[in-house]
Amino acid sequence: MVFDWFKRFGKKEKKEEEPLLEPAPPEASAPQTESSATPEAQVEPDYMRWARIAQEKLNTEVAQQATADEAISDWQRVLYGTSSPPAPSVPAPAPPPPVVEPAAPPPPPVEEPPAATAAFDWQRVLYGTPAPPAPPVEEAPVAEAPPPPPVPAIEEAPPVLESVAAVPPAVAEAPPAPELPAVAEAPVEPPPIPESPPVAEPPVAIVPVEAPSAFEGPVTAAEPAIQSTVEVERAEAEPIEELPAPAAESPPQAVEPESVAEPPAPVTKTVSESSLQPPAPVEPPVQSEEALPPEAPRSPAFDWRRFLPGYRAAPSAPAQPDPDTPPVSEPVNPVPEPPVAQTPPPPAEPPAAEPLEEEPTRAPAFDWRRFLAGNRSTPAAEPPEPVAPPAPQPQPQPQFQLDAGFLWSAEVLAAQGRRPEDVTVEEITWLQKLRFGLGRTRRSLVNNLKAVVGRGPIGAAELEELEALLLQADVGLTVSDRILSALQERVRREALSADQVLPFLKSQLRRQLELEADDPAQFAPRRGRLNVWLIVGVNGVGKTTTIGKIAALAVRSGYKTLIAAGDTFRAAAVEQLTIWGERAGVMVVANPSPKADPAAVVYDAIGAARSRGAELLLVDTAGRLQNKKNLMDELAKVRRIIDKQAADAHVEALLVLDATTGQNGLQQARVFREVAGLTGVIITKLDGSAKAGITLAIVDELQLPIRFIGVGEKVDDLRPFNSFEFIEALLSDIDDG
């Protein structure tokens, strides 16, 4: 759906002196809402109806977009009109309801996921997948099976990837705990993969990008890293944990050392089903009772290996030693007898002496909770709790609520004669942005204005105070005087109530922004022919950014657009512009050679625009101080090239002014007007200024219309200027907090 923002230039709202947003009579006020709390926010009876229709229309629009799998969050499509690749990870949302994508769905049965997925699922295991089919929770040793807190799995995914990349160093840093020799060595063996990069090979700058290969390659590439990570964690955890009481009595087990040293190969395949089980109901697999001597049941230690990627629990019935995972299947035994008192079976093979002594502290030591975000403590004994079912998914909220902000936006549109059926999501969204962006000026202006106006009849003292406030907002002396003279005249004719003064001031302010001679419709780029917009201004006011935003807006509005990178002075400008162009899907004509002649670039760009049938050519120029003659001469040359090469085009020269520079911008404007033949102004950074009143001074002093305003750095933070909306936003009495 294309929304033509430039059509807004076609509407010249000639408002009468009567304010459009007069407060409604008390009996007419609509159902009580937030906005009806104050007299001025009361709405006319049919206005609420208007707002409801608009809300319904917009929410339907949003829902339709969501169901079409083109959610509004798809910024590429919404902002640029381009289609982005289908998002595979977004589950098709249920029927109509909107936006919010459902929370994590119940994990499907896992079957041999690819490496990267395995890594992710491994995390999910720790964060709350359904209970494993294995042993009952009651039988689990209490101290080892705390319930995993409900941590969002997605947020934890990055750490996994990071840890993968950091495995080798982590291994190296693992404290060589004397009691864990085998553990410390084990991880060292597998890492051949990350180590392998040809460090000594030719200076290929991409060499360090070894890590990604672990993800894209076969499963075996990624898993060892994860495996190693776990090993490291284990090594860190072991000395910290304490064994259950019998640990000291337990005869040494040959099992654990082997398991620690077990080769990573089997582990690296995929995340097995068992490994995807949540850790909470930890339980040794019920399996090898027969194979194990009943008198030597191993302590029902938490079998942390189950969480290792690729680890598969041995089948329960026959205790066949799995050649791949010998140590795992042997030792386990969940005999229902008092878990703590049980002792592990005698080692099947003569274990190495050293690790055996440490064995007791190792088996239950792996604290999987360490993987949980923010969990630093390891409570000794927490009662096992069943894994909490996933929290009920929040009901999708409508995109637009009938809150004060929405009502204000709808009211502003309605007051301009818009029909609720025609209102668009973008317009409502922009009005919210605009009001929010002007917050700094508004906060310092509105309350004071209201305080003065609400005091009673407007006299000389009040007029003086009002003038001070307007000057403080950088409205300028001339404009202030003009506005207050009109107010004085009006008050002289008739007594204005406090509620009437503010609307009157609004109408006067709005008038100052509208030039008699200006016809906005003439500014809108013509379709089917070339329009050239030359963008000029001093350094850092936001020219390049503004061009990027306008390009996106133009594409969104259905114009074939091209950009000329005429700022050859600042090298990064071309790069910056290229990025904006890529985002908007707009070609950028640039000359990469340093100190290229900007006039030549513009010449080429005009040719390219013609050959491609572009309708709008945006020309960036280098920032320059207005007192640098050579640079200003260069700009004049660019303008001449445009006039000559695009004589049939509709040309606009737009000065970008930074609102935070206040009255200084006026001096800049005067010089640029002579050199570039200015036809309009774009004001940026209104969001960073408490003096948005400069907008009025600019129009008055330069007699140039404002064409766009910017209230932020993002692509959709710039829109065509609308005096009515601007003043309403500036003097809105809604508090944004």
Q: 476 a known binding residue? A: no
Q: Label residue 585 left, alpha or beta by phi (over 0 means left) and psi (-120 to 50 means alpha).
A: left
Q: Which two tokens stand for residue 720?
A: 């065509």
**CB of residue 637 to ligand GTP, shortest distance in Å:** 18
Binder among 284, 396, 476, 712 for ligand GTP (CB under 6 A): 712
**CB of residue 676 to ligand GTP, shortest distance in Å:** 14
**CB of residue 630 to ligand GTP, shortest distance in Å:** 16
Residues 274-313 that bind ligand GTP (CB under 6 A): none
Told to check if 355 binds ligand GTP by CB under 6 A, we report no
**Phi, psi dihedral angles at 189 (to 5 degrees):** -70, -50
Q: How far apart are the first and last CA of the chain?
A: 33
Told to check if 713 binds ligand GTP by CB under 6 A, we report yes
Told to check if 545 binds ligand GTP by CB under 6 A, we report yes
Stretch 616-655: interaction string toward ligand GTP, x if CB under 6 A: -------x--------------------------------
Q: 543 a known binding residue? A: yes
Candidates 16, 5, 1, 6; CA nearest to 724 is: 16
| Alpha-carbon gap, residue 720 to 722, rounded angstroms | 6
CB closer to ligand GTP, 282 vs 550: 550
Binder among 544, 557, 561, 626 for ligand GTP (CB under 6 A): 544
Name the E strands within 366-481: none
Residue 96 burial (CB count, 10 A): 12
Tell me which H or E stretch contains 602.
Answer: helix 598-612
Binder among 81, 197, 246, 540 for ligand GTP (CB under 6 A): 540
CB closer to ligand GTP, 270 vs 561: 561
Stretch that binds ligand GTP, among 466-474, 486-494, 605-613, 683-691 (CB under 6 A): 683-691
Binder among 292, 541, 589, 646 for ligand GTP (CB under 6 A): 541
Binder among 362, 583, 685, 707 for ligand GTP (CB under 6 A): 685
Told to check if 691 binds ligand GTP by CB under 6 A, we report no
Chain length of the chain: 737
CB closer to ligand GTP, 124 vs 624: 624
Residues 133-152 that bind ligand GTP (CB under 6 A): none
| Alpha-carbon gap, residue 348 to 179, rounded angstroms | 22
Contact 237, 182 (CB under 8 A): no
Place of tokens 């995929």: 270
CB closer to ligand GTP, 125 vs 635: 635
Q: 613 a known binding residue? A: no
Percentages (nearest 5) of helix, strand, coil residues in the chain: 45, 5, 45
Stretch that binds ligand GTP, among 263-271, 278-286, 404-412, 709-717 (CB under 6 A): 709-717
For the chain, what is the largest distance between any 2 Cα atoms, rounded to a whole number of angstroms?
A: 109
CB closer to ligand GTP, 312 vs 543: 543
Return the sign of the alpha-carbon dihedral for residues 349, 355, 358, 361: negative
Tell me which H or E stretch contains 225.
Answer: helix 219-237
Residues 552-591 that bind ligand GTP (CB under 6 A): 567, 570, 573
Told to check if 543 binds ligand GTP by CB under 6 A, we report yes
Told to check if 23 binds ligand GTP by CB under 6 A, we report no
CB closer to ligand GTP, 540 vs 558: 540
Q: 687 a known binding residue? A: yes
Q: 319 a known binding residue? A: no
Rg (CA), the chain: 35
Place of tokens 């955890």: 237
Stretch that binds ligand GTP, among 166-174, 501-509, 603-611, 684-692 (CB under 6 A): 684-692
Q: 454 a known binding residue? A: no
Q: 612 a known binding residue? A: no
Stretch that binds ligand GTP, among 242-250, 296-304, 335-343, 707-715 (CB under 6 A): 707-715
Candidates 153, 125, 157, 150; CA nearest to 282 is: 125
Stretch that binds ligand GTP, among 209-217, 298-306, 600-608, 681-689 (CB under 6 A): 681-689
**CB of residue 538 to ligand GTP, shortest distance in Å:** 7
**CB of residue 284 to ligand GTP, shortest distance in Å:** 58
Taking the mean position of all CA atoms in its chain, how far away is CA 481? Answer: 45
Told to check if 542 binds ligand GTP by CB under 6 A, we report yes
Q: Label residue 225 left, alpha or beta by phi (over 0 means left) and psi (-120 to 50 means alpha).
A: alpha
- Of all residues in the shown chain, the one whose CB is closest to ligand GTP is 623
Q: 437 a known binding residue? A: no
Tell me which H or E stretch contains 617.
Answer: strand 616-619
Contact 191, 165 (CB under 8 A): no
Told to check if 688 binds ligand GTP by CB under 6 A, we report yes
Name the E strands within 312-466: none
| Alpha-carbon gap, residue 521 to 721, rounded angstroms | 13
Told to check if 537 binds ligand GTP by CB under 6 A, we report yes
Q: 450 a known binding residue? A: no
Q: Give all strands of the β-sheet with 680-684 in edge-to-edge order.
A: 587-589, 561-564, 616-619, 531-536, 650-658, 680-684, 706-710, 718-720
Contact 418, 431 (CB under 8 A): no
Told to check if 359 binds ligand GTP by CB under 6 A, we report no
| Alpha-carbon gap, residue 64 to 1, rounded angstroms | 12
Taking the mean position of all CA atoms in its chain, how far away is CA 622? Answer: 31
Candidates 671, 721, 672; CA nearest to 695 is: 721
Stretch 497-536: interaction string toward ligand GTP, x if CB under 6 A: ----------------------------------------
**CB of residue 472 to ligand GTP, shortest distance in Å:** 21
DSSP conformation class of 271: -
CB closer to ligand GTP, 65 vs 561: 561
Q: Report the amino acid identity of residue 520.
A: P
Binding site per annotation, positions for GTP: 537-544, 620-624, 684-687
Summarize as ranges the residues that interact with ligand GTP (CB under 6 A): 537, 539-545, 567, 570, 573, 623, 684-685, 687-688, 710-713, 717
Binding residues: 537-544, 620-624, 684-687
